[in-house]
Amino acid sequence: MSTYDVVVVGAGPAGCAAALNVLRLRPSASVLLLDAAAFPRDKTCGDGVAAEVFDLLDELGATGVRALGAAAPRLRLRTPQGRVVHRTAPRPNRVVTRLELDAALVDAAVAAGAQLRRHRVRTVVPHGDRVLLDDDIVARAVIGADGAHSVVRRALGAPGVPPSSTAVAIRGYTPVAAEPGTLSIEYAGGAVPAYAWSFPIAGGGANVGYGVFDERGAGNRASLLERLAALLPGQEPDPATLRAHHLPLSTAPRFQPDGRVLLAGDAAAKVNPLTGEGIFDAVASGILAGRSALRGDDAGAAHRAAMERTFARHHRHVGALARLAARPAFLDAAIGAAARSRRVFDCAVGLGLARGTVSPAALAVVAAHLPGAALGGAVRRRAAARSGV
């Protein structure tokens, strides 16, 4: 029976960031990185990676990741009513397939000293100052970064993520080139917030997909593909590349108990409810988990406090705005304001791709674009009350 200082379950961006930070802070630590898959492996994702993600990875020593994929310096967003914003982002983002990104992060973690093992974890049992995994692996701390259907999260007795806080997305690859250098999003009409995306990948073609921000309105696979085709005509994905996935949104109740088992990334329900972006929060929460894992019996409490300090205000803001964005009038006003105001556009990018918050000035500009001064004032007051602006 082997004993490790830290065992990380899941070798995606959250898990690798956690392993890298443990080893950055304590190079002598024994770190075991477990994943059910062999790398490189595919993962359902839009493949968009924000510039801020590379900043975090640089701090961990994974500097080579910044050169992967294709540059995407521009963003284009369009509403069903035809409002469009098409601007250069404050900082250039990239499109990196998860096949490439995750393999590079695993390589970086192994190079830093982590031991990688292909293994599907089935049981996680805390016992005093140790945690037992599958009866033959012992850890002084465990980090669960094993995704939306996390075994580690279930082992802690976490409640299920409610359907209203669960997005559903389907993704594929098409040989039809998207607009070069541009992350394109087409918002869908209807009662449930949803959008299609087209992100250009290196070598030609695009990652295309459709996401619904409430599991109850997702429908079946055929329905998702039909809605994708309607919003992105002529960019039909190769059926062999289609993958669907559940995304636990940060609007779900927070869960991190005391003890030596920590959660990060999708396992901690860290997906942005405005955009479905999860890589930034995965890496950022993994970094926090790596630091807290070295705190012994205080690990759980330390991680919970760190996550609250780091994410609470951002989560309040994106949660409030996600509810407002479900209203067509607000979405049109926001996109229209972003097209006219660089300040609003930059604020929206930070909210959707990283850890941004709403400024009162940006919110006032959006409210001014709403039909009727009274409605604009009411929305501004409601958003401010909910988000704490």
- Among 145, 151, 141, 153, smallest CA distance to 6 is for 141
Cα separation, 125 vs 139, in Å, equals: 10
Cα separation, 341 vs 331, in Å, equals: 15
Sheet holding 31-35, edge to edge: 115-118, 31-35, 6-9, 142-144, 261-263
Count, residues in the chain:
389
Cα separation, 44 vs 243, in Å, equals: 6
Using a 10 angstrom Cβ sphere, with 0-12 exposed, 13-18 middle and 19 or more buried, the burial of residue 74 is: middle
Cα separation, 14 vs 285, in Å, equals: 7
278 φ, ψ (degrees, to nearest 5):
-135, -10
Cα separation, 132 vs 116, in Å, equals: 18
H/E element holding 379? helix 373-387
- Among 18, 94, 114, 97, smallest CA distance to 54 is for 94
**Half-sphere exposure (CA, 13 Å, Cβ side) for 4?**
26
Using a 10 angstrom Cβ sphere, with 0-12 exposed, 13-18 middle and 19 or more buried, the burial of residue 24 is: middle
Place of tokens 């961990």: 60
- Helices 328-340 & 360-368, crossing angle to 10 degrees? 110
User: Tens digit of pLDDT per residue, the chain (389 long)?
Assistant: 889 999 999 999 999 999 999 999 999 999 999 999 999 999 999 999 999 999 999 999 999 999 999 999 999 999 999 999 999 999 999 999 999 999 999 999 999 999 999 999 999 999 999 999 999 999 999 999 999 999 999 999 999 999 999 999 999 999 998 899 999 999 998 888 999 999 999 999 999 999 999 999 999 999 999 999 999 999 999 999 999 999 999 999 999 999 999 999 999 999 999 999 999 999 999 999 999 999 999 999 999 999 999 999 999 999 999 999 999 999 999 999 999 999 999 999 999 999 999 999 999 999 998 987 444 455 555 555 554 55
Query: Whole-model pTM?
Result: 0.94
Cα separation, 333 vs 176, in Å, equals: 31
Domains and CATH numbers, the chain: 2-70+96-161+250-311 (3.50.50.60), 163-248 (3.30.9.10), 315-387 (no CATH)
Residue 40: asked if its preceding bond is cis (omega within 30°), the reply is: yes
